[in-house]
Amino acid sequence: MNLFEKQFQDTIHFLQFEDYDLALKRIIDLTLDTEELSFYKKTCELLRWVDYNESNTDGKKEKYSVILNELYQLLSKKEISKPKILLEANNVKKSYSQSAFSLGPISLKISEGQIVGLVGENGNGKTSLLRLLCGELDATEGSISYMLDYEDRYELRTKLIYIPQRPNIWYGSILDNLQFTASSYNIKGEKNELMVDLIISRMGLRNYRNMNWKNLSSGYKMKFELARMLLRKPKLLLIDEPLANLDILSQQTVLEDFKAIAKSPFRPLGIVVSSQQLYEVEKNSDQVIFLKYGEQKNLKSEEANKKEIAELIIEFESEWSQKQLHAALSKISLIKLQYNGSSYIAYFPNTIFLNNFLTIIIDDNIPIKYFRNISDSTRRFFI
């Protein structure tokens, strides 16, 4: 089963389990994949029908199935390209004349279809690295190569989109702004209206399309930026702290959207996301780069230092004292037990597995409020 067929099957399952919102998002993605005006029209008509039939689930099931069938007929004949490397950075360093901070050396590769999580505490160089990767800053040492078709720096910048943490204020409605963006990328006439309609709906902005910047919450401003980005069709998207002002549900939605956008079988892109939301980003990334005092530490990448992740590290909360826990966990070769005021972090050698830890918890009746295996999480770098 290829990537398209797998994603198509997932969409069929969304429909079977009556998850109509997710199914509709995928229908829009697939519609954009067709790059055919006649399909844009069909899906826009469907969106208008949904506006007036929100609670008509039987009707939705039928209409979504019909359009999915047609999309399958068309897209199953389309060629899926093999993911290409987009960018390679080799020993990149950056220092500022006005500050003692220095970033690097950083080496990384980013391919189409990949999400790269960039994590680290404040002031550790995440923004500097994103600005280097998008060409806004020049490296002091090292090199960044872009495996993209471009004639000059201007054309390159259209393929790399950087969304800063605090994007600029804009004026007028969401709809006007997106239509303007589309027309400045040469998407004109009916195609402009249809594409903007699809993308507004895809990003959950349909009911907000006539609103302007000052009436939107931070989450919706981020959705607007993503909608604008989709119209510009970049190859590489670099986003600074997109989760910063979002509630936990919106964080998940945005990360799922990134995944769907990055892993499109026909229009894949690379996405680099900086964030302090470790667990959420780790769950959704193919590669995680942790920056500490400007230095790079990798997890989940080919270069990940296997020796470093060999031991078992568990973070947990318990009302037992350190002494009681120490005595119990020593039975499974505890190396070290740290307490940070609210949670414990227990270190074990690589001969001990999560099951051994859970067995002791049950056998000794240790009260546990929560636990997390952080052996292969960048959380361990924060400790």
Nearest alpha carbon to residue 149 among 161, 140, 141, 158: 158
Alpha helices for 53-148 (secondary structure H)? 57-75, 126-133
Minimum distance between the CB of residue 379 and ligand ATP, rounded to whole angstroms? 17
Residue 212 DSSP symbol: B
Collect all residues with Cβ–Cβ distance below 8 Å to 244 and sequence separation of at least 6.
Answer: 165, 218, 275, 276
Choice from 101, 150, 170, 266 touching ligand ATP (CB under 6 A)? 101
166 binds ligand ATP per the rule CB under 6 A? no
Q: Which stretch binds ligand ATP (CB under 6 A): 16-24, 52-60, 98-106, 207-215?
A: 98-106
122 binds ligand ATP per the rule CB under 6 A? yes
Q: Omega before 105 cis (within 30°)?
A: yes
Minimum distance between the CB of residue 378 and ligand ATP, rounded to whole angstroms? 14
159 binds ligand ATP per the rule CB under 6 A? no
31 binds ligand ATP per the rule CB under 6 A? no
378 binds ligand ATP per the rule CB under 6 A? no
284 binds ligand ATP per the rule CB under 6 A? no
Q: Residues 312, 350: contact at Cβ < 8 Å?
A: yes
Choice from 7, 43, 114, 124 touching ligand ATP (CB under 6 A)? 124
Minimum distance between the CB of residue 100 and ligand ATP, rounded to whole angstroms? 8
Give the residue with the Cβ less far from ligand ATP, 104 or 125. 125
Give the residue with the Cβ less far from ligand ATP, 129 or 314. 129
138 binds ligand ATP per the rule CB under 6 A? no
382 binds ligand ATP per the rule CB under 6 A? no
For ligand ATP (CB under 6 A), the number of binding residues is 12
Residue 306 DSSP symbol: G
128 binds ligand ATP per the rule CB under 6 A? yes
Q: Residues 254, 242: contact at Cβ < 8 Å?
A: yes
Rounded to 5°, angle at Cα 282 from 279 and 284: 110
- 235 Rama class: left (phi>0) / alpha (psi -120 to 50) / beta: alpha
99 binds ligand ATP per the rule CB under 6 A? yes
123 binds ligand ATP per the rule CB under 6 A? yes
120 binds ligand ATP per the rule CB under 6 A? yes
126 binds ligand ATP per the rule CB under 6 A? yes
Give the residue with the Cβ less far from ligand ATP, 17 or 96. 96
268 binds ligand ATP per the rule CB under 6 A? no
Minimum distance between the CB of residue 73 and ligand ATP, rounded to whole angstroms? 47
- Number of Cβ within a 10 Å radius of residue 279: 12
168 binds ligand ATP per the rule CB under 6 A? no
Q: Residues 116, 270: contact at Cβ < 8 Å?
A: yes
277 binds ligand ATP per the rule CB under 6 A? no
Q: What DSSP letter does each residue of 156-210 carry, written as one string?
A: HHHHEEEE-SSPPP--SBHHHHHHHHHHHTT--HHHHHHHHHHHHHHTT-GGGTT
Choice from 38, 55, 98, 168 touching ligand ATP (CB under 6 A)? 98
What is the C-alpha separation between 123 and 235, in angstroms, rounded? 28
On the CB side of 305, CA atoms within 13 Å amount to 9
Residue identified by tokens 């020993």 is 91
Please state whether beta strands 236-240 and 270-275 pair in parallel, antiparallel, or not at all (unpaired). Answer: parallel
96 binds ligand ATP per the rule CB under 6 A? yes
Give contact residues for ligand ATP (rule: CB under 6 A).
Answer: 96, 98-99, 101, 120, 122-128
